A and B are shown apart, each in its own frame.
Chain A
Amino acid sequence: MRAVLAGLLILLLGASAQAERLIVSVSNHRVTVTPNYSGEELVLFGSVEKDAATPADRSAYDLVVTVMGPRADMVTRRKEREFGIWINTDYRQFLQVPSYLALFANRPFDVITSPEIARRQQIGLNNVLLTQRVGGDYADVVPNDAFRSAFIRLRTQRGLYREDASAVTFLTPTLFRTGIPLPAEVPIGTYEVEIKLFANGALVGKTETAFEIVKVGFEQFVATTARQNGLVYGLVTAAMALMTGWMASIVFKKD
């Protein structure tokens, strides 16, 4: 029985021929955001399972966790002074970029691995692929591009993009945990979590998990109706305005 379960687990986790297996779980696979939700922290925990193929001398691991929210197109605009006033002049379109993006590690990214691998594995906000429409082309640009860095800075200010190289803690050499902060304005949808295991600068293991953010309550109902049934929503709002005005004229009727 135990063998069957173990076999299932291996299948489920998609364990390959790699020497280490990562077993992870998040504290909650379905986060419900209520009207008075003020942000919460999800906990991701897991362990590194060694097997016979693991080199005996390997003991110190590094871990990089990437959390990506639902993807969306976004436009970044830049203001410039023209005719004495500040107006939007130039803009760039970012295509299908994550609406939420968090990168966590147990120590600085540049210590964990080489710049080359970091770029290939998209480790760090500077290395994450953010596709822009450049003329008729689709490409990412250099990390210090004005629009790209402004985009990351603004998302970071809102708590929607973050990078924390000390968020992952190893409780034992193989047992780890990290918090995933979700601010009040997290976009709803499916969040992908990618966990990458490094040893001596090399990627030795990888696994994925996911969680979902759903908004419930009156506010969400209002927001959904506004988007999907604009006409009904408009009629109800107009009726509400008339009702309020009429009530006021009765309540405050003079004489």
Chain B
Amino acid sequence: MPFLRALREIDPSRRSVGPMQLYLPIADLPVNVFLVLAMGAAVGFVSGMFGIGGGFLMTPLLIFIGITPAVAVASVASHIAASSFSGALTYWRRRAIDPALASVLLCGGVTGTALGVWTFTQLRALGQLDLMIALSYVVLLTTVGSLMFSEGLRALMRTRRGAVPPRRTHNWIHGLPLKMRFKRSKIYLSVIPVVVIGIVIGFIGAIMGIGGGFILVPVMIYLLRVPTSTVIGTSMVLTLVTMLFATMLHAVTNHLVDAVLALILMVGGVTGAQFGARAGQKIRGEQLRLLLGLLILSVGVRFAIELVIRPEDLFTIRELGVSG
């Protein structure tokens, strides 16, 4: 990966500020504007192609170029908010958002986000935040990645053989109480799993700096049987609100949101997403899922390697604020 190697070359210890360098006020280091813009565009391209927020790629990339995981997670939240808002607006015009389903999801999402930011603060005080971020990435991404990859592989083989996909059947989730009718999605469903999914997505989103679309969409399709016509638009609304809320909470409690960094990422991201979306339409669904699974899996493995190999320096310093 020459790109990653190029990223590594911006050695934070040199800290020289060249002509196109910009000093990030919260991350506290100078970066090349074009590099961050390109990163935003690249991730935006991928996210547009797969219809996801791309936080699970953006946060690791920022960590790899030397931004502390805490600042990366907090700043990416606002970047995802921007890209999901532009996406949500498009889906809203197409009437591809289920407002009732979105509201129930949000009840859980907002609670989960608050819990997530609280846990984030506690872990940071204990000095275990970076570890937990890395561990969550390993566990979540390798699991979801391999599931998606194998599922994509199976679907691909099915189409090769010309077999029809298995018919959708009702599962245990449809036996739960507190049922509610979601008109636009044309489903009749218990609110319990919807709220729980919202909480889980909000929680991991706030800790890991991801929108969670890549988990939410499959879960909504396979577990809740939400039709594909409303699933992406509705999940974007959840991402939008939880990420806006996470931005607010991270800004108020931990003061870690780097607005300058976020703005560059947003501009790059929303632009890249447009081209990604066009590219995505040219690739078939199964192949797309296969590629996405592979991508997610490799990010997870990358984090796992980082945890297992001996770090260059065993010691780290954290400043607890200058007095006076």
Contacts and interface: CB of A to CB of B under 8 A. Distances in A.
Interface in A76-125: 76-81, 84-88, 91, 96, 99
Given A36-B23, A231-B251, A189 B322 contact: yes
Contacts of A189: 322, 324
Given A88-B131, A189-B324, A230-B253, A252 B274 contact: yes
A234 interface: yes
Interface in B67-121: 78-79, 81-90
Contacts of A39: 15-16
A168 B16 CA distance: 25
Nearest to B130: A88
B299 interface: no
Contacts of B315: 76-79, 147, 150-151, 153-154
B271 A226 contact: no
A71 B324 contact: yes
B128 A87 contact: yes
A247 B247 CA distance: 20
Contacts of B252: 230-231, 234
Contacts of A205: none
A2 B29 CA distance: 50
B247 A238 contact: yes
Contacts of B259: 222, 226, 233, 236-237, 240
A99 B322 contact: yes
Nearest to B266: A244
A207 B247 CA distance: 49
Contact of B251 (A87, A159, A234, A244): A234
A217 to B, nearest CB: 9
A237 B79 CA distance: 10
A154 B314 contact: no
B131 A87 contact: yes
A185 B81 CA distance: 30
A41 interface: no
Q: Which of B13, B248, B252, B317 has the most CB of A within 10 A?
A: B317
A157 B13 contact: yes
B317 A155 contact: yes
Interface string A219-255: 1101100110011011111101110111111001000
A74 B127 contact: no
Interface string A35-77: 1111100000000000000000000000000000011111111
A242 B307 contact: no
Given A37-B17, A80-B314, A219 B84 contact: no
B323 A234 contact: no
A171 B268 CA distance: 54
Interface in B238-289: 243-244, 247-253, 255, 257, 259-260, 262-263, 266-267, 270-271, 273-274
Nearest to B256: A226
A78 B316 CA distance: 7
A158 interface: yes
B242 to A, nearest CB: 12
B1 interface: no
B78 A38 contact: no
A249 B90 contact: yes
B22 interface: yes
Nearest to A81: B310
B322 A187 contact: yes
Nearest to A69: B322
Given A71-B323, A184-B30, A88 B316 contact: yes
A183 interface: yes
A240 B263 contact: yes
B9 interface: no
B262 A240 contact: yes
Contacts of A38: 15-17, 30
Contacts of B78: 237-238, 240-241
Contacts of B250: 234
A252 B89 CA distance: 12
B13 A158 contact: yes
Contact of A223 (B25, B271, B311, B320): B25
A50 B287 CA distance: 85
A222 B261 CA distance: 11
Interface in A153-190: 153-155, 157-159, 183-185, 187-190
Interface in B20-65: 21-26, 28-30
A231 B257 CA distance: 11
A37 B16 CA distance: 9
A249 B251 CA distance: 26
Interface string B299-324: 00000000111110111111111111
Nearest to A242: B85
7 contacts: A39-B16, A72-B323, A80-B314, A150-B315, A189-B322, A220-B25, A244-B85
Interface of B: 13, 15-17, 21-26, 28-30, 78-79, 81-90, 127-128, 130-131, 135, 243-244, 247-253, 255, 257, 259-260, 262-263, 266-267, 270-271, 273-274, 307-311, 313-324
Given A230-B251, A241-B78, A241-B85, 14 more contacts: A37-B23, A39-B15, A70-B323, A72-B321, A73-B320, A74-B320, A77-B316, A80-B314, A151-B317, A159-B15, A184-B17, A222-B26, A238-B81, A241-B243
